[in-house]
Amino acid sequence: MTKRFGALQALRDVTCQVDGRAVGLLGPNGAGKTTLMRVCLGLTTPDAGEVRVLGIDARAQPGQVRMRLGYAAEGAHRIPGLSGLESVAYAGELCGLPRRTAVLRAHEMLDLVGLDEARQRPVEGYSTGMHQRVKLAMALVHDPELLLLDEPTSGLDPGNRDELLQLLARLRDGAGPAVLLSTHLLHDVERVCDACIIMDRGQVKYAGSLHELQARMGEEEHVLRGEGDLAALAGALRAGGHEVRPGEQSDALRVRLAEGAGPAVIWGAARAVGVALWQLQPRGRRLEDAFMAAIGQEDAR
């Protein structure tokens, strides 16, 4: 699938298939995440390629696709003059629900997202967190099979962000819709998702489970902590062809050993430069490491 906007190549031969109850759509700004979601919704037509969502051709039958999807776009996207309840009920009516059913469903969804007495207030007075909750309720009101969320935790304080992620986790683990979560926050994907798509400059760099992505990176990194001249230890290890980066604490280093080397190399180098190690442990690579490697920017970190 390909999509161009003038001189900008937004999507470049995008091909992927991912299974999972919650899938993270990751990538830096301008990677093509929002364009891909809009193409899946039938709101943007690709220049070439096939788009099938839930088995439906999104180019030929965009209306049928949208009836089975819920979408919360980035930004406030409010309708001035409506309350939260009226906004959600209106979204339900747009999806074909009778007025009475739409209002009842709106109450249910607002209960689900934790918007209580504020549901009767005009949306213009809502905080960022309340806007995000209303958008989620609007996306859920017609009981979709797949929920597309574009930066749903953007602008939230830590408490609201945690509550929203807990709600997405409950949807993932319950009878709710599957979730496609577009975000640049890797921690959100680690908290909620079981699979991910990584995009960069309009291309898919990885599509599959998080476990497979992190397992692919191996457990070749060791974290060490100790007392003494850690700069000298880092220099000695680099001289031996090993990669060394600062750790998360001032007395720590992260070491990726050269192929075929074992932890004994680190112990030997520490003895040679007079560093007393009191911690040395292997560690599976974090999603951040796997993400940066996937988009080819590992050396920039």
Q: Which of 171, 186, 215 is the last residue of a domain?
A: 215
**Interval 285-290 mean pLDDT:** 72
Q: Is the pLDDT of residue 40 over 50?
A: yes
Report residue 155 as tokens: 């602008």
The pair phi, psi for residue 41, each rounded to 5°, is -80, -10
pLDDT digits (tens, 9 = 90+) for 4-31: 998 889 999 898 887 889 999 999 888 9
**Which band of pLDDT confidence, cut at 50, 70 and 90, is reported for residue 112?**
very high
SS3 251: coil
- The verdict on 14 and 117 lying in the same domain is yes
- Mean pLDDT is lowest, of 29-33, 86-90, 161-165, 288-292, for 288-292
From the list 65, 8, 12, the residue with the least C-alpha distance to 38 is 65
pLDDT of the residue at 121? 94
The answer on 201 and 138 residing in a single domain is yes
pLDDT of residue 218: 56
Residue 209 shares a structural domain with residue 103: yes
Evaluate whether residue 44 is within a structural domain. yes
Q: Which of 215, 231, 265 is the last residue of a domain?
A: 215
Looking at residue 299, its pLDDT comes to 40
- CATH number, residue 99: 3.40.50.300
| Residue 288 scores a pLDDT above 90 | no
Note whether 245 and 233 are within 8 A (CB). Answer: no
Range from 12-21, 50-59, 135-144, 257-266 that averages highest in pLDDT: 135-144
Q: Within a domain: residue 149?
A: yes
User: How does pLDDT run across 215-240, given as a tens digit for each residue?
Assistant: 666 556 889 999 999 999 999 999 99
pLDDT at 300 over 50: no
pLDDT over 90 (residue 122): yes
Among the residue ranges 107-111, 179-183, 261-265, the one predicted with the least confidence is: 261-265
Is residue 76 scored above 80 in pLDDT? no
Nearest to 275 by CA among 234, 241, 245, 240: 234
Same-domain pairing of 169 and 261: no
CATH classification of the domain holding 254: 3.30.70.100
The residue among 287 and 67 whose pLDDT is bigger is 67
**What pLDDT is stored for residue 220 in this prediction?**
66
What is the overall mean pLDDT for the chain? 89
Instruction: Write out pLDDT tens, residues 238-279.
Output: 999 999 999 878 889 999 888 888 899 999 999 999 999 999
Q: Which of 223, 247, 239 is nearest to 272 (CA)?
A: 239
Q: Decide if pLDDT at 163 tops 50.
A: yes
Looking at the structure, do residues 149 and 242 belong to the same domain, yes or no? no
- Model pLDDT, residue 185: 87
Q: Is residue 251 part of a domain?
A: yes
Phi, psi of 61 (to 5 degrees): -135, 60
- The CA distance from 110 to 105, in Å, is 9
Q: Do 138 and 8 sit in the same domain of this protein? A: yes
Statement to judge: residues 264 and 241 lie in one domain: yes
Given a cut of 70, whether residue 289 has pLDDT beyond it is: yes
Query: Whole domain around residue 275: which residue ranges?
Result: 219-283
Residues paired with residue 31 on neighbouring β-strands, in sequence order? none
Work out the pLDDT band at 285, boundaries 50, 70, 90.
Answer: low
HSE (side-chain half, CA atoms, 13 Å) at 173: 8
Does residue 298 carry a pLDDT above 60? no
**One domain, residues 110 and 258:** no
Residue 297 has pLDDT above 90, yes or no: no
pLDDT in tens, 185-216: 888 998 899 999 999 999 999 999 987 887 66
Res 301: pLDDT: 36
Domain count, the chain: 2
Same domain flag for 145 and 47: yes
Residue 276 has what pLDDT? 93
Name the phi and psi angles at 174, rounded to 5: -105, -150
